[in-house]
Each structure stands twice: as structure tokens, then as C-alpha cells.
Copies of this chain bind each other. A is one copy, B any other.
Amino acid sequence: MSARWKVLSSRKVYEAGGRFTVSIQRIKLPDGRIVKDYYQIWMPESAIIIARTAADKVVLCRQYRHGIGAVSLVAPAGTGEPGETTLQTAKRELLEETGYSGGKWRFLGDFALHANYGSGTVAVFLADGVKRTAEPVSDDLERTEVVLKSRREIAGAVKSREMVSMGTIASLSLAKYL
């Protein structure tokens, strides 16, 4: 099967205020062909959290997402701060965004948002038995409504198009909620 591509050189061509960078790589394919301009989008690693309560409801956020241009139901998620492990990021984001914490945490794996562009590895966590312990303290631009959803309601949200984020859907599937 195809072997790893060799990156001959890489130059940063755009830096988006610390959020992501665009690079152009010069690449040598396994068959010897040279690709002069393979674009990569680099984003910091992020964490997404499927958190369930003792009553088997999943803690989700109803939030305007500008990339979609609509209010959407998404799993809590966020990018890491300097020095954080992805587990620390996940716990911080869950608490900040929803006010829930505690429970037993399990790492479900690192996944790829864009297998071509390399933009953003996502560490998926399952938190089992979380409780509301604080008020959400979000400094996000979006106002967030924290909602608890059953398995059946989650399936309904996909059908009704209230849930359209592939990251959220994939994570719920990995956690066996879809």
C-alpha cells in the first residue's frame, strides 16, 4: 500500500491571528512524483466531550454557529490553552460551557476533521456521570443554552436538522449515542 509522503519543504503562507495557519508543502510521492503546492491548514488540537448524567442524558449546547449561519445543537468542545493536556482542555471546556463536571472520563481517541488538509485533530472524550456543579462562565461570542438530551431526542435532532456538525455526530456515534 501507499507509503508516507515525504515533505521536502514547507512554508507558512498565511497566519490567521493565532487561530490557524495555512502552509504550502513541497512533497515527494512514493512513486517519485513531486507535488509543488500541497496546502495544509494547521489548527490547534481541540477536545470534544460527550458528557452524560446519571439519568443517561447527554449535556449539549444550543448555540449560534456562524460557519453554519444558524442555531445548532453541538457537543461542548474547544481548543487547548498553552500547557494543557487534551483531558485538561476537555474538563475545562465542559465546566466553562455547561457548568457540568465530575464523573468518570474515558478517552475515545484522536480523530481528524479534514483528512486532506490536516486541519485540527480532535480528541474525543466520554464523561460518565457528570453533575451540574457551577454556572457556565462563557466568554464566547455566542450565547449558549445548555440542554440535556436523551438518546431518542438526539436521533430526532439529527433528523430535524437541528444537529448538523459532523464532529458532534461522529463523537456521539463513537460514544454509542447515535
Contacts and interface: CB of A to CB of B under 8 A. Distances in A.
Interface of A: 1-5, 13-14, 16-17, 19-20, 22, 27, 29-30, 33, 35, 37-41, 62-72, 74, 109-120, 122, 141-143, 145, 158, 161, 164-174, 178
30 contacts: A1-B62, A2-B142, A3-B64, A4-B64, A4-B69, A14-B22, A16-B22, A16-B39, A20-B39, A20-B41, A22-B22, A65-B112, A65-B115, A65-B116, A66-B116, A66-B118, A67-B115, A67-B116, A67-B119, A68-B118, A74-B115, A111-B165, A112-B164, A113-B113, A113-B114, A115-B165, A166-B166, A166-B171, A167-B170, A170-B170
A109 B163 CA distance: 11
Contacts of A158: 174
Given A17-B39, A39-B20, A174-B158, A68 B165 contact: no
Majority secondary structure of chain A interface residues (helix, strand, loop or mixed): mixed
Contact of A164 (B70, B109, B142, B167): B109
Q: 8 closest Cβ contacts across the A-B interface?
A: A67-B118, A173-B173, A65-B115, A166-B170, A169-B170, A2-B64, A170-B170, A14-B14
